[in-house]
Chain A
Amino acid sequence: SQQGEEDPQALSIQEGENATMNCSYKTSINNLQWYRQNSGRGLVHLILIRSNEREKHSGRLRVTLDTSKKSSSLLITASRAADTASYFCATDWRSEGGGNKLTFGTGTQLKVEL
């Protein structure tokens, strides 16, 4: 399975601290994406990093990608209570059948406390 593994499963920090989440995957990818989910419903796309990129920034988000280790990290700086959510990595990869798939990791539940 290409499903990513995320680490940690749960993370609790104080407002203002940085939060780091990690994602590992199994096969070669086209790109890796991070999503956020509130209240167990629809996911919202945060950032996409291509396989030939190593680092990408968007506002308070910083994503790194190490294709040699098949891993990625998401850093949220200066966290806020509103950042409390579940965060998922997703990999775009070419499956054995020849088509592309977008499969998701197990997620990290982030809680930011006041």
Chain B
Amino acid sequence: GAGVSQSPSNKVTEKGKDVELRCDPISGHTALYWYRQSLGQGLEFLIYFQGNSAPDKSGLPSDRFSAERTGGSVSTLTIQRTQQEDSAVYLCASSLGTNTRLTEAFFGQGTRLTVV
């Protein structure tokens, strides 16, 4: 596709269940980011993939959160044993970034996660 695609758009899950969020970046973009945004708040950095380098996981809030990027393309963000405080919009973005310069980021429409 032409843009960053995220699925699902909305996800309602019961507390304690695991969820998997998917991001399909723009073809050829080497940099991929995950952010979390709570209602009315700014974007909280979660994790960053750049090419074949080790991902920067410094923003993951707990060990319940993990992310993978397979083949340098599609990424999945997994949240295990979800808690109500995990409810937020999860945004994925990709860019043509290199190791020294990050260009403009293109965002998906996000996944709104609600933990009940």
Stretch in A13-21, A59-67, A72-80, A98-106 touching the partner = A98-106
- Whether A104 contacts B106 in the complex (CB less than 8 A), given A40-B39, A43-B91, A95-B58, comes out as no
Q: How far is the CA of A44 from the CA of B35 in the complex (A)?
A: 14
Smallest CB–CB gap between A63 and chain B, Å? Answer: 13
- Please name the residue on chain B nearest to A6 by beta carbon: B42
- Please name the residue on chain B nearest to A100 by beta carbon: B102
Beta-carbon contact of B43 and A42 below 8 Å: no
Q: Which one of A48, A104, A106 contacts B35 once the chains associate, using CB atoms below 8 Å? A: A104
Beta-carbon contact of B48 and A99 below 8 Å: yes
Smallest CB–CB gap between B89 and chain A, Å? Answer: 6
Beta-carbon contact of B42 and A105 below 8 Å: yes
B99 beta carbon closer than 8 Å to chain A: yes
Q: How far is the CA of A33 from the CA of B89 in the complex (A)?
A: 21
Q: Which one of B4, B41, B101 contacts A31 once the chains associate, using CB atoms below 8 Å? A: B101
Q: How far is the CA of A103 from the CA of B58 in the complex (A)?
A: 12
B62 beta carbon closer than 8 Å to chain A: no
B100 beta carbon closer than 8 Å to chain A: yes
Smallest CB–CB gap between A39 and chain B, Å? Answer: 10
Beta-carbon contact of A33 and B101 below 8 Å: no
Beta-carbon contact of A88 and B101 below 8 Å: no
Residues on B with beta carbons closer than 8 Å to the beta carbon of A99 = 48, 50, 53, 56, 99
Beta-carbon contacts under 8 Å, A83-113 to B: 88, 90, 92, 95, 97, 99-107
A sample of 18 inter-chain contacts (CB < 8 A) reads A3-B45, A33-B105, A40-B39, A41-B89, A41-B109, A42-B109, A42-B110, A43-B91, A43-B105, A88-B42, A99-B56, A100-B97, A100-B101, A101-B45, A102-B93, A102-B95, A102-B97, A104-B42
Q: Which residues of B contact A (CB under 8 A)?
A: 4, 33, 35, 37, 39-43, 45, 48, 50, 53, 56, 58, 89, 91, 93, 95, 97, 99-110
